[in-house]
Structure 1
Amino acid sequence: MASSFSSIFVCNVFLFLQISMLLVSASMDHNNVVPFVRALTGGYVCAPYVSIYTSQIWGPTRDCTICTAYCYGACDALRTQHLNTQCTPVGDNLFCECCCRLPAPPPAPACPPPPPCPSPPSSDTCETGDTYTETTMPSSDCAACSNWCKEDCSELGGRVIENKCAIGESSFVRRCKCCCRGGKSGPKIVLGLGSGK
């Protein structure tokens, strides 16, 4: 009993879909006459921003089930859902008007994940465990201090963290301060007067 009922149901649905497709394809040959409709029916209007209006004249006939089938098929072809149908006799024909529900707008895109927390800045000041050296050089150019610091840190296998240059006892003497991090030596303070090393 259940299988015969489901077969009948499937056949009816299939028949309804075929009729709807036939009516929609046939409607492609007819013109949509919205200005004419407004004069005839007083302006059958669907809810704005919620639905789509479509219409078609069929005939000669007085069978309003054609309008129902047309409207279901037309709404389906528009990928919308049928809301309601109005069938108005016009002479020997029928004027079918349909409202189809617009699809729901897509959901708003998900917010992107927040950016990761910034990593703490690496310290660029001399800290406990770094190697600090200081010297005075007979030079009027701070580039000599910078080169001395790079060489000093390189010899220790570390990298320059801080490199400072100041005018010494005269304009031809530079006081160089250097801090290295990493490498093989621990904290030390070297003070000296030299010509580069």
Structure 2
Amino acid sequence: MTAEPLTTAAARWPVPPPDGYTVDDLFTLPDLPSHTELIDGSLVFVSPQRTFHSISIDLLVNGLRRTVPPELRVRREMTVVIDKRNGPEPDICVVRAEAVAGQKQTHFQAADVLLAAEVVLPDSESRDRDTKPHKYAAAGIPHFWRVEMTGEDDRPVVYVYELDPLTKSYIFSGMHHTHLKLSAPFTIDIDLTEIDQL
């Protein structure tokens, strides 16, 4: 008995167009896995979430929503269109309320994003620490947070960055281990040790 070769459409890898994929492709290609991102015209498939990733996002989204002003909204895992070939999906973003178009919305324009945050995992280290922050800064997103797991208790540490509009790059403004208390982009007060209750 011989094995049959896999010939179903589901077993074939998508072949990119000669100039790479565009954000239009990202939104129209059938059967893409959840949370597929577009970076430099290439589709990026994410691996399954870890508990740290999920509960860190929950902790920060809940904390942000407690103090977000009415002209802003907090969203998790939504595509941000930077340009024709880049549609990353920050783990968390704060957007202008007028950019929210309804319950079926799938993405936001970078110009409507005030804060993008990434929770770093082993498979996304390079993208979350280097590639995506550079793209967010070049797109003019004023604030960026990088969240990493640290210490024996595996709690989050939040690295906070603000955009230098002249250089279009982020400037490090603080590292927060147990308490995230900020005045920009609005008043924020999050007890990071609450992750132990999630």
Is the TM value for this pair above 0.5?
Answer: no
- TM-score of the aligned structures, taking structure 2 as reference length: 0.21
Higher Cα Rg: structure 1 or 2?
1
Normalised by the length of structure 1, the TM-score is 0.21
